[in-house]
């Protein structure tokens, strides 16, 4: 969530830590040499004010006051949503797991001498050697993660090729990673990084994140021009973005590695 400001910046510096009026929640103030405008970002438990270099005291305080009600309301909304997310349980003892947007059975088979192996055929099958004890849950989850990374990279590569005639955009490399707070990113050399948990979300949500990051190859920001480009390639992207806002935090918490 974010709010930005495109007004003219002054060049006086000031101590925002002592002069900013408090907000109803933790406030983090970050000066950024890369930021082009004042911006408020809200996450569960935190409001962050990003201040570009050269911004004056009066302008920053006015911006915070102008958007204070929005930021505090959004903080309450996100905190409430986070409080309703159930604590993660045991991975291996769960009867079902999400896979491409729907819950499917999780079947774990254990036997002496079995090699750890994962397959998905209507259900998620994980073979484990017997006698893992307390490490059983960790071994099963990591095996699933390794398998998903491989599957998702192949799946996304095919998706990029399918989209390329329409978008004209190809990444240098596709990387599938563990990401604690992001669903994707685009590097300076046009590599796209994707959260492995996108394999568990609906296919349309995965496609939105892929298109989003591909568009960053052309537009290195979240300007109106960027969102117009996303909409050109994926007109209904707002629905998929909404899904991530509603269900993304729960997914990340459930499968923290």
- Which pLDDT belongs to residue 9? 40
6 SS3 class = coil
- Which pLDDT belongs to residue 257? 67
Averaged pLDDT of the chain: 87
Average of pLDDT values for 208-217?
Answer: 98
Q: What distance in Å separates the CA atoms of residue 25 and residue 43, rounded to the nearest whole number?
A: 11
pLDDT tens digits along 50-89 = 999 888 878 988 898 899 899 888 888 877 766 665 555 6
- Which pLDDT belongs to residue 2? 53
Q: What percent of the chain has pLDDT over 90?
A: 59
- Which pLDDT belongs to residue 22? 53
C-alpha distance from residue 129 to each of 108, 133, 139, 192 (Å) = 10, 10, 10, 35
Which pTM value belongs to this model?
0.70
**Position 182 confidence tier, pLDDT thresholds 50, 70, 90:** very high
pLDDT tens digits along 91-132 = 888 899 999 999 999 999 999 989 999 999 999 999 999 999
For 191: left if phi > 0, alpha if psi spans -120 to 50, otherwise beta; the answer is beta
Least confident of 32-36, 95-99, 109-113, 209-213: 32-36
Q: What percent of the chain has pLDDT over 70?
A: 86
Structural domains of the chain ordered from first start: 2-83 (no CATH), 96-254 (3.30.2010.10)
- Which residues, in sequence order, are bridge partners of residue 144? none
**Position 11 confidence tier, pLDDT thresholds 50, 70, 90:** very low
Q: What distance in Å separates the CA atoms of residue 62 and residue 74, rounded to the nearest whole number?
A: 19
């Amino acid at each position: 969530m974010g709010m930005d400001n495109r007004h003219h910046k002054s060049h006086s510096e000031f101590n925002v830590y002592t002069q900013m009026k408090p907000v109803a929640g933790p406030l983090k103030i970050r000066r950024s040499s890369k930021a082009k405008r004042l911006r408020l970002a809200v996450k569960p438990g935190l409001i962050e004010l990003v201040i570009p270099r050269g911004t004056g005291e009066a302008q920053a305080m006015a911006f915070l006051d102008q958007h204070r009600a929005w930021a505090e309301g959004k903080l309450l909304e996100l905190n409430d949503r986070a409080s309703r997310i159930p604590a993660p349980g045991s991975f291996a003892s769960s009867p079902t797991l999400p896979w491409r947007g729907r819950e499917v059975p999780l079947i774990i088979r254990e036997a002496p001498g079995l090699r750890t192996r994962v397959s998905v055929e209507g259900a998620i099958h994980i073979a484990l050697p017997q006698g893992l004890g307390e490490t059983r849950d960790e071994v099963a989850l990591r095996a699933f993660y390794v398998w998903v990374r491989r599957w998702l990279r192949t799946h996304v590569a095919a998706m990029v090729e399918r989209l390329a005639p329409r978008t004209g955009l190809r990444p240098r490399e596709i990387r599938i990673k563990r990401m604690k707070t992001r669903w994707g990113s685009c590097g300076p050399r046009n590599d796209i990084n994707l959260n492995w948990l996108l394999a568990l979300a609906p296919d349309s949500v995965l496609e939105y994140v892929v298109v989003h990051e591909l568009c960053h190859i052309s537009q290195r920001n979240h300007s109106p021009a960027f969102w117009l480009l996303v909409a050109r390639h994926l007109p209904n992207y707002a629905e998929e973005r909404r899904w991530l806002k509603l269900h993304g935090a729960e997914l990340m918490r459930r499968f923290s590695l």
